[in-house]
């Protein structure tokens, strides 16, 4: 397969209805809608973007949206794609990509645990890290970690001094 450049990749994706922006010579970001992003990821996988490095969430509380970010890389083209999908904050449900990448299972479990985002089709969304957790998912912006620590562990903002 020929190596493609960032520019041709952006054109190719634009022809498929995906908006993108260049971040650097080897990195782009792409915005996809929540309805058909799995198809796009599948397409990317077929043209050589076979390495899913991470899935992470971002909480845009001002815009009332969550963003799920898929970090995809191609060993052949040496291009990294930051693949972003926005979902509403009230009903954070998104399709799973476990069928494309097996390790997505654990990344999705993690995102679910930390953001409360549901991945439809993922069979096991149990907690990996937290135990006995009844509060808001901790990485949401409206979860106040300092207040939580103060109430449960008795932490003080200024240490033992004040």
Partner 1 sequence: MFNINSLEQQDNQDKLWDKVINYFRKRSLWMLHYCTGCGAMELPPVMTSRWDMERFGIGPMATPRQADILLITGYSSVRTMKRIIRTYEQMPEPKWVLAFGSCTVNGGMYWDSYNVINNLGEYIPVDITIAGCMPRPEAILDSMLKLMDMIQAGEAKAFRKYKENYAYYKANQDRLFMERGPVLESAALRYVHEETEGGEA
Partner 2 sequence: MNFNSYSLTKIAKEDKDTTYDLFFGPNHPGMHGNFGYVLDMVGTEINSVRPNAGQLHRGFEKLMEQRGWVQNLTLVPRICVMDPDPNEVAYCMSVERIMGVEIPERAKYLRTITLEMSRLTAYLLAIGGFGGTLGHYTPTHWSTADRDLIMDMFEWLTGGRVYHIYNIPGGVRSDAPEGFFDKLLEVMDALEARLPDYDSILFENPIVHKRLKGLGYVSKEDARKTGLSGPNLRASGNAYDVRKDVPYAAYPYLDFEIITQEGGDALTRALQIRLEYEQTINLIRQAVKKIPEGDVRLNLGLLGNLKVQAGEAYEKVESSKGEFGYYIVSDGGTKPYRVSVRGPSLPAGFLWAQKHLPTMKIDDVAAWMGSLSICPPDFDK
Partner 3 sequence: MAIGDKSISAPLTAIKSLFKKPVTVRYPDEVLEVFPEKGVSPRFRGVHTNDLAKCVGCGSCERICPVNAIYMELPEGKEDVKKEYRPVIDYGRCCFCAFCVDVCPTVSLKMSREYDFTTSATMEMRDGEEVKFVIDEFMFRPTNEREDNIGYVTGKKMKVLG
Least separation in angstroms between CB 9 and partner 1: 30
Identify what 123 binds: partner 1, partner 3, partner 2, none; CB under 5 to 8 Å per kind.
Answer: none
Identify what 128 binds: partner 1, partner 2, partner 3, none; CB under 5 to 8 Å per kind.
Answer: partner 2
Q: DSSP assignment of the chain, as one string?
A: -PPPPHHHHHHHHHHTT-EEEEEETTEEEEEE-TTTHHHHHHHHHHTT--EEEEEEEEEETTTTEEEEEEEEE-TTT--EEEEEEEEESSS-EEE--TTT-TTHHHHHHHHHHHH--EEET-S----SS-SS--SS-TTSTT--HHHHHHHHH---TTTTT-
- Span of 8-16, 35-43, 74-82, 153-161 interacting with partner 2 by CB under 8 A: 74-82
Query: Which residues in this chain contact partner 1 in the complex, by CB under 8 A?
Result: 90-93, 95, 116, 118, 120-121, 129-132, 134-138, 142-149, 151-156, 159-160
Identify what 2 binds: partner 1, partner 2, partner 3, none; CB under 5 to 8 Å per kind.
Answer: none
Identify what 101 binds: partner 2, partner 3, partner 1, none; CB under 5 to 8 Å per kind.
Answer: partner 2
- Per CB under 8 A, does 123 bind partner 3? no
Least separation in angstroms between CB 161 and partner 3: 5
Residues that bind partner 3 (CB under 8 A): 157-162
């Amino acid at each position: 397969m020929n190596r493609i450049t960032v520019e041709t990749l952006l054109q190719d994706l634009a022809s498929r209805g995906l908006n993108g922006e260049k971040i650097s010579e080897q990195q782009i970001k792409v915005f996809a809608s929540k309805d058909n992003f799995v198809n796009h990821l599948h397409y990317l996988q077929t043209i050589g973007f076979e390495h899913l490095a991470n899935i992470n969430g971002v909480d845009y509380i001002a815009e009332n949206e969550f963003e799920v970010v898929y970090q995809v890389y191609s060993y052949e083209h040496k291009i990294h794609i930051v693949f972003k999908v926005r979902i509403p904050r009230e009903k954070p449900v998104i399709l799973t990509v476990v069928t494309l990448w097996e390790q997505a299972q654990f990344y999705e479990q993690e995102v679910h645990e930390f953001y409360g985002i549901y991945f439809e089709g993922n069979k096991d969304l149990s907690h990996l890290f937290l135990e006995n957790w009844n509060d808001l998912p901790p990485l949401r912006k409206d979860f106040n970690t300092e207040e939580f620590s103060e109430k449960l562990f008795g932490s003080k903002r200024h240490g033992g001094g004040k």
